[in-house]
């Protein structure tokens, strides 16, 4: 490699010897021209930027002086270039492009006109990911999230930035990119909280651009079901049912579950305490006999979830033989059985309030539930135009 400082000294001596003979002058000029061409040839390779190519299978370079480690090859191996020709590979090794980015293996292809950085090769060798936007690109280490290198678009090509690091990358980011980066680093707080912490940065970002996919997946909740405000037109047209339990404390009678049956028209509720969850079928037959004998009516539709206490051969046979339609909810969709679900929650809230205020021991929870159901059936409800369920059921 030619020393540029030595060339400058030689040039100054050349100017002092302008009175020499023409033969000596021509020799000196030709020597100067050869030295200058050598320096330009070396600088042409060292100053060439790295072009980031997603179709290249390997990193390639035409100069050998940039390698930090180099292994010569026989020249028998060849690589196909853009014009379709095959050119020999004379060696391969490692090259340090920036202070944070080293490439290996890099193929040495003599007289190759550009420095080529392969996206597939760098992501595989450095275990990183590359992402591209219309004006910039970056390579980020998967394990640590550290920025290894960045690129900028010029004339439709991505060029690797010299000395690119995370600080330089941050300076190139748009306000939205910077705010999203801070959002991830701070543990994904809400953008309302971000607006208070970084008001100037937040005001510079369009609201529609502030979208975090991780937050959408991790924090999303199911949209509440709209209330259709539909009621049955007659008594016992639809019976809603749901089971609660098991309670961690046995009741005084040894129960751990309870099941409710709610009439869709009057909202009158029957509650049965259960020792075992599969006792639902037994108490439903009791309810069916009660409605038939006391009110001279029959149940038309039973609506419940898909629990095995409702969906089993014995239960289904009874429903079919008595002409009762069984409507079940979709799997993992308790909202479709909202009448029974809300009723059970209401019962538990009232029962707990009664037990707290009276300082009742927990094993009396079953008696508290019976008291609660007696009171609720006799309290006026807004959905019933301020009439009580017992009033509608018993006229």
- Residue percentage of the chain with pLDDT more than 70: 84
| pLDDT at 9 > cutoff 70 | no
Report pLDDT for 8: 45
pLDDT of residue 363: 96
**Selected residue with higher pLDDT from 71 and 100:** 71
Decide: 6 and 28 in contact? Cβ < 8 Å. Answer: no
Angle at 329 between CA 326 and CA 333, to 5 degrees: 165
Q: Region 376-392: what's the mean pLDDT?
A: 92
Instruction: Identify whether the C-beta of residue 143 lies closer than 8 Å to the C-beta of residue 127.
Output: yes
Which tens digit of pLDDT belongs to each residue from 221-230?
777 766 666 6
Host H or E run for residue 239: strand 238-244
50-172 maps to CATH 3.60.21: no
Per the residue annotation, which of 3, 53, 161, 286 is the catalytic one? 53
CB 53 within 8 A of CB 107: no
> pLDDT per residue over 240-276, tens digit each?
999 999 999 999 999 999 999 999 999 999 999 999 9
* Mean pLDDT along residues 196-225: 84
The stretch 162-176 carries a mean pLDDT of: 60
Four-residue CA torsion sign, 285, 290, 296, 302: negative
Count of alpha carbons within 13 Å of 387, Cβ hemisphere only? 13
Query: Considering just the CA atoms, what is the radius of gyration of the chain in Å?
Result: 41
The token pair that represents 144 in the structure block: 């640590």
User: Among the ranges 13-22, 105-114, 147-156, 304-313, which has the highest mean pLDDT value?
Assistant: 304-313
Q: Which two tokens stand for residue 286?
A: 């009791």
What's the mean pLDDT in 337-352?
Answer: 92
Confidence of residue 350 (pLDDT cuts 50, 70, 90): very high
Please check the confidence at residue 58 and state whether its pLDDT lies above 70. Answer: yes
pLDDT tens string 307-317: 999 999 999 99
Question: So what's the pLDDT on residue 82?
Answer: 78
* Cβ atoms 394, 388 nearer than 8 A: no
Q: Is the pLDDT of residue 85 over 80?
A: yes
Contact 316, 284 (CB under 8 A): no
Sheet holding 136-141, edge to edge: 69-72, 91-98, 101-108, 59-61, 115-118, 50-53, 157-160, 147-154, 136-141, 128-132
Domain ranges across the chain:
50-172, 179-216, 238-394
Q: At what angle do helices 313-321 and 280-294 cross, to 10 degrees?
A: 10
b/e code 77-99 from CB counts within 10 Å (16+ = b): eebebeeeeebebbbbbbbebbe
Between 359 and 145, name the one with better pLDDT: 359
279 has catalytic annotation: no
The dihedral built from the CA positions of residue 203, 205, 209 and 212, taken in this order, carries a sign that is negative
Overall pTM > 0.85? no
Provide the CATH number for the domain formed by 238-394 in this structure: 3.30.420.10
């Amino acid at each position: 490699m030619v020393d540029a400082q030595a060339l400058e000294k030689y040039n100054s001596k050349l100017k002092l010897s302008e009175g020499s003979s023409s033969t000596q002058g021509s020799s000196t000029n030709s020597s100067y021209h050869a030295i200058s061409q050598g320096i330009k040839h070396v600088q042409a390779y060292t100053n060439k930027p790295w072009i980031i190519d997603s179709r290249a299978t390997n990193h390639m370079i035409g100069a050998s002086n940039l390698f930090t480690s180099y292994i010569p090859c026989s020249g028998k191996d060849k690589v196909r270039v853009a014009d379709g020709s095959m050119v020999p590979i004379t060696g391969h090794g490692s090259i340090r492009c920036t202070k944070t980015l080293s490439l290996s293996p890099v193929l040495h292809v003599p007289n190759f006109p550009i420095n080529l950085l392969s996206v597939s090769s760098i992501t595989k060798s450095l275990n990183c990911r590359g992402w591209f936007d219309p004006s910039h690109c970056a390579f980020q280490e998967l394990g640590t999230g550290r920025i290894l290198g960045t690129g900028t678009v010029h004339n439709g090509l991505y060029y690797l930035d010299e000395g690119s690091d995370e600080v330089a990358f941050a300076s190139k980011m748009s306000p939205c990119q910077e705010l999203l980066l801070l959002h991830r680093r701070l543990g994904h707080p809400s953008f309302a909280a971000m607006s208070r912490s970084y008001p100037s940065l937040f005001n510079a970002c369009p609201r529609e651009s502030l979208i975090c996919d991780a937050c959408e997946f991790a924090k999303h909740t199911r949209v509440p079901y709209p209330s259709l405000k539909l009621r049955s037109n007659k008594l016992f047209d639809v019976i809603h049912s749901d089971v609660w339990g098991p309670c961690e404390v046995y009741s005084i009678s040894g129960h751990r579950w309870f099941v409710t049956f709610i009439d869709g028209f009057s909202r009158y509720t029957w509650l049965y305490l259960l020792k075992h969850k599969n006792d639902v079928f037994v108490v439903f037959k009791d309810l069916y006999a009660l409605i038939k004998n006391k009110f001279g009516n029959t149940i038309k539709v039973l609506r419940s979830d898909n629990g095995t206490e409702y969906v089993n051969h014995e239960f289904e046979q009874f429903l079919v033989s008595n002409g009762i339609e069984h409507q079940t909810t979709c799997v993992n969709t308790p909202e479709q059985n909202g009448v029974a679900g809300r009723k059970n929650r209401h019962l538990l809230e009232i029962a707990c309030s009664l037990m707290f205020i009276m300082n009742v021991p927990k094993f009396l929870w079953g008696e508290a539930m019976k008291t609660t159901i007696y009171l609720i059936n006799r309290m006026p409800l807004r959905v019933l135009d301020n009439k009580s369920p017992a009033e509608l059921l018993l006229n």
